[in-house]
A and B are shown apart, each in its own frame.
Chain A
């Protein structure tokens, strides 16, 4: 980061290469809209570049990066700039019960859509905690720092998220 602060573009490029995939997938699973996720991911990297001089290494760079992304996602969702795929639990139930044969289970695309919908139906905090842990490998303690809550709260959020997914995805497990 100190190199980025000095205007070293190849250092910045390395950051983009290293983090664009996990970051973009995290944002996508958070807000459920690929085009908007790309915009937000770009915005995150631009902020990194612009604020590199002010960066204080109080936490790991990855934590800082994902915190920026989480805040931007929250802003977007709260400002209703993104029309979230409205999650209709009945629709989800129809999708999960419409499987006519076990063979269809292997259709990963269909499953991905169902999983995305199930993820989107989770309350925001549960979704953030689960995604940060599941897809980006953050420990519970790191998540608690990022979300500004206690360790036991993170434990509970992740557990409730999985319970909810278990209920919704019961035909698949």
Chain B
């Protein structure tokens, strides 16, 4: 670990506290003795600081948009997808009408978690949540 090149390669992990303590101690020791590596470490820290200072963008609440998308998804599933799957099942699945559902259509209709009556409650919950 005494070579500057090896030290340089480890400097980012050192700055991020991602090195085992023995390795860390070796680097600390080296930085006290080598001005070139110390300078490199300072430059990297400045880059870290620069990135830290980059302001976060504040998102508008995603609730309303997600609620709208969930509703559109539900509409498509209920009004288009499920009837089509049901029609194909009736045509092709011999067990239709016996109470057993075709395993494939059960998979295709995995949007049962959006029953019609939950549509308004989904929207209301989201709006209420967004207002809190």
Q: Which residues of A contact B (CB under 8 A)?
A: 7, 9-10, 13, 16-17, 20-21, 24-25, 28, 34, 38, 41-42, 45-46, 49, 53, 108, 111-112, 115, 133-134, 139-140, 155-156, 158-159, 162, 165-166, 169, 172-173
Are B13 and A46 neighbours in the complex by a CB distance under 8 Å?
Answer: no
- Report A54 CB to chain B, min CB distance, Å: 10
Closest CB pairs A-B (n = 10): A159-B12, A173-B46, A13-B129, A9-B125, A24-B59, A140-B18, A155-B13, A20-B62, A158-B12, A25-B56
Q: Which residues of A contact B62 (CB under 8 A)?
A: 16, 20, 24, 38, 41-42, 45
Decide: B12 and A169 in contact? CB cutoff 8 A: no
CA distance A125 to B20 in the complex (A): 24
Instruction: Tally B residues with Cβ within 8 Å of A.
Output: 37
Q: Is B73 an interface residue (CB 8 A)?
A: yes
Shortest distance between the CB of B8 and any CB in chain A (Å): 8
Any A CB within 8 A of the CB of B24: no
A contact residues around B121 at 8 Å (CB): 9
Do the beta carbons of B70 and A49 come within 8 Å of each other? yes
Q: Which residues of B contact A (CB under 8 A)?
A: 9-13, 16, 18, 43-44, 46-48, 50-59, 61-63, 65-66, 69-70, 73, 113, 118, 121-122, 125-126, 129
A7 to B12, CA, bound (A): 43
Q: A133–B43 contact, CB under 8 A?
A: no
Docked Cα-Cα span, A46 to B53, in Å, equals 31
A21 interface neighbour in B52, B54, B58, B69, Cβ under 8 Å: B58
24 intermolecular pairs with C-beta atoms under 8 Å apart: A7-B118, A9-B129, A10-B129, A13-B125, A13-B126, A16-B62, A24-B57, A25-B57, A28-B57, A38-B65, A42-B62, A111-B53, A111-B54, A115-B50, A134-B48, A139-B18, A140-B16, A155-B9, A155-B10, A155-B12, A156-B9, A158-B13, A169-B47, A173-B43
The one of B16, B54, B126 in contact with A158, judged by C-beta atoms closer than 8 angstroms, is B16
The docked-state distance in angstroms from the alpha carbon of A34 to that of B122 is 27
Residues of B within 8 Å of A25, CB to CB, are: 56-57
- In the bound complex, residues from chain A placing their C-beta under 8 Å from that of B58 are 21
* Given known A9-B126, A13-B125, A28-B57, contact A134–B51 (CB-CB < 8 A): yes
CB distance from A99 to the nearest CB of B (A): 14
| Contact (Cβ within 8 A) B125 A34 | no
Nearest CB in chain A: distance from B116 CB, A:
14
A159 to B14, CA, bound (A): 10
Closest beta carbon of chain B to A140's beta carbon, Å: 5
Q: By the criterion CB–CB under 8 Å, are A155 and B18 in contact?
A: yes
Q: Are A133 and B16 in touch, CB under 8 angstroms?
A: yes
Report whether A159 and B63 are in contact in the complex, using a CB–CB cutoff of 8 Å: no
Contact with B129, one of A17, A45, A140, A169 (Cβ below 8 angstroms): A17
Residues of chain B within 8 A (CB-CB) of A173 are: 43, 46-47, 50
Taking the closest CB of chain A, its distance from the CB of B106, in whole angstroms, is 13
